[in-house]
Amino acid sequence: MKVTTMTKIYLVGAGPGDPDLLTVKALRLIQTAETLVYDRLVSREILDLVPDGVSRIYVGKAPGRHTLSQKEISALLVSLAEKGQRVVRLKGGDPFIFGRGGEEALMLARHNIPFEVVPGITAAQACAAYAGIPLTHRGMAQGVRFITGHRKENATLAIDAATLADPEQTLVIYMGLANLPLIVRDLLDAGRAADTPAAIVEHGTTARQRSIVTTVAQLQKAVEQNNIESPAMLIIGAVVALSQELDWFMPVAQEMELRYG
């Protein structure tokens, strides 16, 4: 196959949901694409920025419900490139942080298809910022770890016990709701204090955002009482307590309630 510049695939991070958090480059590519291949976590507000006439292909995955398998998505990108289309592969957050962008890039590279990766603001950064939680803070947290809550069967979190227990390490857990009881068990078994502050940020950076602050021991109860649904980010560590003073973001619904009662 002869590859031209018109077959380049752009793996683009859409950020966490707020369209104002798109990079300038991401917005330019979205508005000049011929075909858009997008995920479930790309917000409606961002999709509204896509011009009429652009072909849209939804390949979203929800727990237990995959439109296409990852292998099929990668094959689709190859097929579109071979047709000479200008394709933007739009992913929530950042393509290379729990976005499986590396797998898609490898498939393209192995078919000699040019590609470009456009980073996006990952949900860990954005959800924490919009909930008023600094992931690092002098005297409270000297480091941060991003962890996936996905696991096979009854496996433990893919991180050493010392890090799980370290009170100066903030933990941010993606996709953790389905395995939350196991995650809490792992944290407590590793030695993380039961009263460690913990936050759940649902639909972060969007008008539907809800931030619930609790403790590690009470995480499951908080999720159940507040009917938390995916997507939701878990943030564990002393810095969560700072949200009581730093929580600045007011979702539209909350703002309207305060304004009109």
Residues 189 and 150 in one domain: yes
* 255 inside domain: no
pLDDT per residue over 79-110, tens digit each?
999 898 899 999 999 999 999 999 999 999 99
Residues 128 and 113 in one domain: no
What mean pLDDT, rounded, does the chain reach? Answer: 90
* 19 inside domain: yes
Domain total in the chain: 2
Closest by CA position to 234, among listed 141, 130, 148:
148
* CA–CA distance, 152 with 156 (Å, rounded to integer): 9
Residues 127 and 70 in one domain: no
User: The domain containing residue 223 runs over which residues?
Assistant: 123-246
Q: What is the pTM of this model?
A: 0.88
* 259 inside domain: no
Catalytic residues: 39, 61
Q: Sign of dihedral through CA atoms 253, 255, 258, 261?
A: negative
Give the domain CATH number at 153. 3.30.950.10
The length of the chain in residues reads 261
pLDDT per residue over 9-68, tens digit each?
999 999 999 999 999 999 999 999 999 999 999 999 999 999 999 999 999 876 656 678
* 146 inside domain: yes
Q: Which of 118, 140, 173 is the last residue of a domain?
A: 118
The answer to whether residues 44 and 25 touch, using CB atoms and an 8 Å cutoff, is no
Residues 90 and 189 in one domain: no
Residues 140 and 218 in one domain: yes
Give the domain CATH number at 46. 3.40.1010.10
- % of the chain residues with pLDDT over 70: 89
Residues 167 and 100 in one domain: no
Residues 215 and 100 in one domain: no
Residues 96 and 161 in one domain: no
* CA–CA distance, 41 with 82 (Å, rounded to integer): 27
